Chain A
Amino acid sequence: MNQECLLSVENLKTYFFTKSGVVKAVDGVTFSVSPGEALGIAGESGSGKSITCLSLVRLVPQPAGRIVGGKVLFQGEDLLIKKEEEMRELRGKTIAMILQDPLTSLNPVFTIGNQVGEVFKLNGDKKWKTIRAKAIDILNRVKIPSAEQRLNDYPFQFSGGMRQRVLAAVGIARKPKLLIADEPTTSLDVTIQDQFLRLLKELQQRTEMSLILVTHDLGVVAETCDRVAIMYAGRIVEIGSVERVYHAPAHPYTNALMKALPKLRGRTKRLYQIEGEPPNLYDLPSGCRFHPRCPMAKDICREKYPPEVLVSGGGAAACWLLVNGGNHP
């Protein structure tokens, strides 16, 4: 464990206990984030990215969901053993999160001013004037025009992009050390996406805030993040700097993802497609979870889950092909 780490997640496991079986949404996830760093978590729907984030702040949907194991060390302290009141202290103040859909994430019956102001109230500000001033200030910082007039407007009177900015404002208002953004651009138009990502990057760099950006869009990760973790079926299959992972992917899944990205240059006859379907989370494949779809699968892939191995160039990946030079039955 790196002493410089802001956040260190070790073997986190979050399961959902339903009538139809146990869903191992997050099944042994390990990663770390340094101060001021932007980590991307990428993967398909159902890979466990969102639940990982919710587990970090201990807001996993109950009663079905439960964090069943692992450690989440934030500034040296394990969040999973803290009391709920202590967690509440952290939320919003030290660790903040932006949710995916800006329309449903804002309370429809309260004004934006009320909802942004609430954050400052939680911070301890009591005077209405101070709160109002701070709200205007933060809305300006996320580049919302005519912030002062818009304080009295309701969420439905804002456009999607604006709403997302409001969420960002709420997220950074108390200057958290870590901001988690769960698919913040998924519901936005492409042009708005770009603007928003730049805003996030700017805010992050200005305040030395760490950022965890969850998305299924590899382009977004490339734009915004320093490092990336690729998730599949509840586990991280590869992790490393964005450059290394994108140029020299070590895991077959990552490799396939990169190949599947349409390229602007050169002629492609057919888009590459990963064979098979995403796994059924109630009934995961044995051994390496990607093996049914992996073009290079060997017998051992079917039997045992591969260990995480360091990759030349930085980072790690979990694949039998990387162990012992790939010499396996």
Chain B
Amino acid sequence: MMVVMEKRGSNGKVPFFHRWRRTRLRLRRLPILGIGLLMPIIVCGIFGPAFYPHEPTQMNLAKSLHPPALLPRGEWSYFLGTDQLGRDLLSRLIEGARVSLIVSIFGVALAGLMGVSLGMIAGYFGGGLDHIIMRIVDMMMSIPPILMAILLAASLGSGMMTIILSIMVIFWTGYARVIRGETLSVKQRDFVTLAMVTGCGRVRILMKHIFPNLVNTALVLATLQLGRAIIIEASITFLGLGLQPPASAWGLIISEGRMYLSTAWWIPTFSGLAIMMTVLGSNITGDWLRNALDPKLRRI
């Protein structure tokens, strides 16, 4: 109905000043909250060791199960308290950030690689290949994610590689479906037909013409999936099927802290808050990215 009319010059082009102003307006709506939550985690992840108040693996049984600072028996140097072996909680959490981020990012990236490729192939080449790939997707999606991870852990043993593999196996299907749909719609567009008419090879069309139009969608999917991947990773580790002690993964800290729930509430609480911060930050950023780049994905 009513459309914002831009001042157009006599040649129909929007003058530079207005374009610049538009971009600035869009950027102003940056998700401060999302990035604010994510940034500390990412910084910890990359520069972790620089921030440890103590060595995460350093045990000090004399200080076992000390509460966080500000509470009786708490100390400032053990800011968030200690666990049952006297290890500083804050340091363990910082270390855990690295672990969680590495696993999730790798897992989601690999899933993305696999899912986008297969989705593109399915969408572009169609026919039997499409059918086969989609049936495989349906098949994989028919097993609840955690169950799949459990199955893999049971077969391959627990550990970092298994978790990354699990995440890859669980999440690639999401990419494949969406990217296939996108490929189908991009395929219909005129510039693709033009490329085909001028004799471009099929692979070239895929990489040069179709893929760039999918990047936005893939990126948005990746950020949305990151949060879920972290939750799955934490859940698997919590169940004892991921990294093993004495590693400092968040899920592990929570699982160890379960036994001391009534005596040392800070152990599971803060580690869970760390997870929540990361996932929330990633979700908020993902939502913003989706609204900015590709609103069609609203339904995901």
Contacts and interface: CB of A to CB of B under 8 A. Distances in A.
**CB–CB under 8 A between A and B in the complex?**
yes
Interface of A: 16, 18, 20, 23, 25, 46, 50, 61, 280-283
A16 B1 CA distance: 11
Contacts of B1: 50, 61
Nearest to A20: B4
B2 A25 contact: yes
B5 A280 contact: yes
Contacts of A16: 2
Nearest to B4: A20
Contacts of B2: 16, 18, 23, 25, 46, 281
Contacts of A280: 5
A309 to B, nearest CB: 30
Interface in B1-20: 1-2, 4-5
A50 B1 CA distance: 10
Interface of B: 1-2, 4-5
A299 B90 CA distance: 77
14 contacts: A16-B2, A18-B2, A20-B4, A23-B2, A25-B2, A46-B2, A50-B1, A61-B1, A280-B5, A281-B2, A281-B5, A282-B4, A282-B5, A283-B5
Nearest to B6: A280
A18 B2 CA distance: 10
Given A281-B2, A281-B5, A283-B5, 8 more contacts: A16-B2, A18-B2, A20-B4, A46-B2, A50-B1, A61-B1, A280-B5, A282-B5
A25 B5 CA distance: 14
A283 B2 CA distance: 13
A15 B172 CA distance: 49
Interface of chain B: mostly helix, strand, loop or mixed = loop
A46 B4 CA distance: 12
A257 B2 CA distance: 23
A314 B37 CA distance: 70
Among B1, B2, B4, chain A packs the most CB atoms within 10 A around the CB of B2
Contacts of B5: 280-283
A20 B25 CA distance: 12
A129 to B, nearest CB: 42
B10 to A, nearest CB: 11
Q: Would you list the 5 A-B pairs with minimal beta carbon distance, nearest first? A: A280-B5, A23-B2, A20-B4, A16-B2, A281-B2
A281 B1 CA distance: 11
B63 to A, nearest CB: 57
Nearest to B2: A23
A157 B2 CA distance: 32
Contacts of A46: 2
B242 to A, nearest CB: 45
A28 to B, nearest CB: 18
A282 B4 CA distance: 8
Nearest to A21: B4
A253 B96 CA distance: 73
A50 B2 CA distance: 11
A122 B4 CA distance: 39
A61 B1 CA distance: 11
A20 B2 CA distance: 11
A25 B1 CA distance: 10
A16 B4 CA distance: 12
A20 B4 CA distance: 8
Nearest to A64: B2
Contacts of A18: 2
A313 B2 CA distance: 36
Contacts of B4: 20, 282
A303 B138 CA distance: 69
Nearest to A18: B2
Contacts of A50: 1
Nearest to B5: A280
Nearest to B25: A19
B28 to A, nearest CB: 13
Contacts of A20: 4
B116 to A, nearest CB: 33
Nearest to B8: A277
Nearest to B3: A46
A18 B1 CA distance: 13
B26 to A, nearest CB: 13
A215 to B, nearest CB: 16
Contacts of A61: 1
A18 B4 CA distance: 10
A83 B246 CA distance: 71
A283 B7 CA distance: 10
Nearest to A278: B5
A140 B63 CA distance: 88
A230 B136 CA distance: 61
Contacts of A23: 2
A216 B232 CA distance: 57
Contacts of A281: 2, 5
Nearest to A50: B1
A23 B2 CA distance: 8
B32 to A, nearest CB: 20
A17 B137 CA distance: 47
A271 B5 CA distance: 27
A46 B3 CA distance: 9
A249 B85 CA distance: 95
A208 B2 CA distance: 35
Contacts of A283: 5
